[in-house]
Chains A and B, each alone.
Chain A
Amino acid sequence: MSDVKAFIDTVGKDVTTVAVPRIETLATGINETVLNQYGPRISAFANDLVKDIIKDQSANVRDFVTALIQELCQRYRPEILGEVHARLAQGGLDLTGQGVKLDLKRQDTGAVVASLDIPIAIRINVSDVAVTLKDTTIKLDVVR
């Protein structure tokens, strides 16, 4: 059995010695061919395909979006309701929203489709203002 094993090993080594360089050469050749010939062709094809898709479909997409926006604008009407209360507070100004909401209404029926409450609570800090009078002269004139 050991003779058979040694025989197979010897044959294997010989085949490897001969075959591996050839396979490597083949692989390198295929690789170069793909890289230099097929690669640019695939790239050019993909480029042309994308250009064609954009060229053919951009008008459709634009028309669709324009029509959709027009239809939505004709169909719905936004309305803001409520009021903002401004109040002077210590060191600043407080702005508070009262019943502020954005209603989306149907143009034709006026029915509310959706309503969004908008909470407003804003604090604007105002620093002290120093006023300095320097030799401010007040003169009076007699009215004749």
Chain B
Amino acid sequence: MSVVDELVENLVERNAVRLNGTMTISLVDGGLTVKGRLFSTLRDQKKGKDLLNVEIPVDAQVNVGEVVIPLPQIR
């Protein structure tokens, strides 16, 4: 096992990401949008200490094409 592997392993095992925030999903012409703000905190669980705070603005649009639904046959 390399030093990098051990480093990553330790980082992953010790740390956890806590997420807070609010997002709004809205339907718009031809798709939907996701807007909001996330607050992420990286916490060292062994030391019980917050290491990193990240504020993530979210503004995404997903395009959805027209869905064609054929009518079922009457049997």
Q: Is A39 an interface residue (CB 8 A)?
A: no
Q: Is A141 an interface residue (CB 8 A)?
A: yes
Inter-chain contact A88/B29, CB cutoff 8 Å: yes
Give the complex CA separation of A142 and B9 in angstroms.
6
Q: Which residues of A25-42 are within 8 A (CB) of B?
A: none
Question: Secondary structure of the A side of the interface?
Answer: strand
Give the distance to chain A from B69, nearest Cβ to Cβ, in Å.
5
**How many interface residues does B have (CB within 8 Å)?**
34
Contact partners of A49 in chain B: CB under 8 A: none
Inter-chain contact B22/A85, CB cutoff 8 Å: no
Inter-chain contact B27/A130, CB cutoff 8 Å: no
22 A-B pairs with CB atoms under 8 Å apart are A78-B74, A79-B73, A79-B74, A82-B71, A84-B68, A84-B69, A86-B68, A88-B29, A89-B29, A89-B30, A90-B27, A126-B27, A128-B24, A128-B26, A131-B23, A131-B36, A132-B21, A133-B19, A136-B18, A136-B20, A141-B13, A142-B8
Residue ranges of B at the interface with A (Cβ–Cβ < 8 Å): 8-9, 12-13, 15-32, 36, 38, 64, 66-74
